[in-house]
Amino acid sequence: MNIEALKNEIYKLKREKNALIVAHNYQIDEVQEIADFVGDSFYLSKVCAERPEEVIVFCGVHFMAESAKILSPHKKVLLPEIDAGCPLADMVTAEDVENLKKKYPDYSIVCYINSPASVKAKSDVICTSSNAVKIVREFPNDKIIFLPDKNLGSFVRKQVPEKDIILWEGFCITHYKIKKEDVEKAKSLHPNALVLVHPECRPEVVELADFVGSTKQIIDFATASKEKEFIIGTEMGVLYSLKKLNPDKKFYILHPGMICPNMKKNTLQSVRDALLYERYQIEVEEEIMQGAKRALAKMLEMG
């Protein structure tokens, strides 16, 4: 089936099933194009919780669809490619959290949304890259264990020096590719460009940036800016919205390897199949569901 025919079938199925399609900023262009909402993980988790549609096709990775299911257990949440995972999320287990709690009983656990539901269930509150600083700063405990991303954790630690923050050793394999030298080289090639990076980058990369934020915050910053050139330190999928919203501006990606192989798994074909066959349905065990819902709801309540 050609692209136009696929798109038309997706729109038809979407109407018939009264489904909502959401896509993360890292999805391939064609998938972002057919989505009802495109954004970062915080924005999408709010959209999925607030919208009335009973069927959600989540074009992202597993933990994102799982979070949508936890926040709206009665809805049918579909992930077009069931093996679209997140290596960072897999770097911590529920058992690790149990051991940390035994070792540091006075500490509260702030867990990045890039984590399995079983880990969220044992955490005090969830955060995303767009609200991690706020959540840690405002959480009513000065002793925090931040997991699983050590880079986002160290960014938070710099912004909230008054708190004692223990970091877990996880990291995003895609953002980790960007080195300090890449930023120095990009800056010398494009001396007028501002450097915008995601906080999953290494601390020495974050140090050299003009702006640090989630994918949506990067897109919003570049769109609102009077500057005309930007060096982008996150997955290339963000270029879709950056270019669409800013046809007069120039964007340079910091590293040619900024491609998350898992985020790129969803295709128009798999979105169409997800709608047609109502697959792959995300389910979460009841006991895990309750604990993870409490921690996610706490994040939404803190804003």
In the complex, which residues of this chain contact ligand 13P (CB under 6 A)? 40-41, 114, 128-130, 172, 198, 200, 214-215
Rank residues 27 and 129 by Cβ distance to ligand 13P and give the closer one. Answer: 129
Cα dist. 162→20, 118, 131, 136, 144 in Å? Answer: 42, 30, 18, 11, 11
Q: How far is the CB of 200 from ligand 13P (least distance, A)?
A: 5
Name which of 40 and 182 has its Cβ closer to ligand 13P: 40
- Which residue, 67 or 130, has its beta carbon nearer to ligand 13P? 130
Instruction: Decide whether 14 or 66 has the Cβ nearer to ligand 13P.
Output: 66
Could you give the CA distance from residue 155 to residue 239 in angstroms, rounded to a whole number? 24
Min CB(37)–ligand 13P separation in Å: 13
Binding residues for iminosuccinate: 24, 41, 112-114, 129, 198-200, 215
Which pair of structure tokens corresponds to residue 181? Answer: 């030298």
Residue numbering of the annotated binding site: 24, 41, 86, 112-114, 129, 172, 198-200, 215, 260
CB of 244 to ligand 13P, least distance (A): 17
CB 196, CB 213: distance < 8 Å: yes
By C-beta, is 80 or 170 nearer to ligand 13P? 170
Residue 177 CB, nearest distance to ligand 13P (Å)?
A: 12
Distance of CA 294 to the CA centre of its chain: 20
Output the smallest distance, CB 190 to ligand 13P, in A.
23
What is the number of other CB atoms lying within 10 angstroms of the CB of residue 70?
A: 27
Q: Coil, strand or helix: which one is 105?
A: coil
Smallest distance, ligand 13P to C-beta of residue 130, A:
5
- Residues with Cβ within 8 Å of residue 52, at least 6 apart in sequence: none
Binding residue numbers for [4Fe-4S] cluster: 86, 172, 260
Q: Which of 171/280 has CB closer to ligand 13P?
A: 171
The single-letter code of the amino acid at 15 is R
Which ranges of the chain would DSSP assign to H, the alpha helix? 3-17, 29-34, 41-50, 62-71, 94-103, 117-120, 132-138, 150-159, 180-189, 203-206, 215-224, 238-245, 268-277, 286-302
> With contact defined as beta carbons under 8 Å apart, do 62 and 86 qualify?
yes
